[in-house]
Amino acid sequence: MAVVNKQSKKIPPSNYAIGVFDSGLGGLTVVKELIKLLPDEDIVYFGDTARVPYGTKSSESIIRFSIDNANVLISKKVKMIVVACNSSSSYALEVLKEKFDIPIVGVIDPGAQKAIRLTKNKKIGVIATSATVDSGKYVEALKNIDKSVKVTSVACPLFVPLVEEGWSNKKITADVAGIYLKLLKKENVDALILGCTHYPLLKTVISKVMGRKVALVDSAREVAHQVEKLLDQRKNRKRSKQKGALRIFVSDKPQSFMRIAKSFLGCKIDEISCLKKL
Ligand code: DGL
């Protein structure tokens, strides 16, 4: 169930965009699913490329950055915010829900719910940034649904730079995955949560190491479904025959972001700009 923050009784105009933020480009995995599911909605994406990665930062910094990001999106007229970053969702979701008067959706609960649906042997793996693993939020979310599941979490800090470098298909990435995922194979997990928005871009290599029997849980699709449900509940869908616009803002290096975003999303990007000041 999508959780609406307690103050969000006010319904913004339905032609406002869906706001999505991430520390960098990983949140585009959520944007891709949103475009598939809600093609008429406008989307405003903010990638904090000047301060990526968040996964190695302190909780105080992650909270501060997340508040800045939410403010950027609100200044662009959004009707809700999707926190498409596991590190931010782990530490800042509650703060954002307290602070801002629009619905805010994170990525942890949707991923946990899906993993519980998929596991048969009740052994679930979580791979994420160090910040997300240290927060213990996935373990908490999973145990809240089913106390009897065994959860093994592994931080994979090298995965983000490998993705940002565009090295998803290189041998070095497969070697790194082999080392990180060893414990999860030993623990015989049958569902593995990709607890970082960058990791769906490594699905092929992760699946090769884990084997086909292990279900990879990509929360992006689940998040998109929660967004749809939430907008329907609040009667806040745009409902237009026209395709929605996609506007992207970053805090640094818009050109390289544009290149990767275009090839990953495979759709028109209506605007991409760099915000120098947050
Ligand atoms: N997007 C971040 C997350 O999902 C990963 C990248 C980072 O460390 O900032 O945690």
CA of 28 to the centre of ligand 1 (A): 12
Q: Are residues 29 and 115 in the same domain?
A: no
CA of 126 to the centre of ligand 1 (A): 14
Give residue 111's Cα distance to chain centre.
10
- CA–CA gap between residue 49 and residue 208 (Å, rounded): 30
Q: What is the CATH number of the domain that holds 21?
A: 3.40.50.1860
Average pLDDT per block of 10 residues along the chain, 278 residues long: 56 96 93 96 97 94 98 97 97 96 95 96 97 96 98 96 88 98 98 94 96 94 94 94 96 89 88 85
Q: Are residues 117 and 212 in the same domain?
A: yes
pLDDT at 2: 47
Residue nearest to ligand 1 atom 7, measured at CA:
53
pLDDT at 80: 97
pLDDT at 66: 98
Number of domains comprising the chain: 2
pLDDT at 5: 55
User: Which residue range is the domain that position 22 belongs to?
Assistant: 17-107+221-274
Q: Are residues 131 and 267 in the same domain?
A: no
Query: Ligand 1 site: residues with CB under 6 angstroms?
Result: 22-24, 26, 52-55, 85-87, 129, 132, 160, 196-198
Cross-strand partners of 45:
20, 248
Pocket test for ligand 1, best of 28, 52, 165 (most atoms within 8 A of CB): 52
Minimum-distance ligand 1 atom for the alpha carbon of 160: 6
Q: Are residues 192 and 267 in the same domain?
A: no
Q: Are residues 119 and 209 in the same domain?
A: yes
Q: Which among 110, 96, 95, 91 is positioned nearest to 29, based on CA atoms?
A: 110
Q: Are residues 190 and 63 in the same domain?
A: no
Residues designated catalytic: 85, 196
Last residue of a domain, one of 219, 234, 257: 219
Range 92-100, long-range pairs (CB < 8 A, 24+ positions)? 92/62, 92/63, 92/66, 92/67, 95/63, 95/66, 95/67, 96/5, 96/66, 96/67, 96/70, 97/3, 97/5, 97/6, 98/5, 98/7, 99/67, 99/70, 100/5, 100/7, 100/70, 100/74
pLDDT at 155: 97
Whether 7 is covered by a domain: the verdict is no
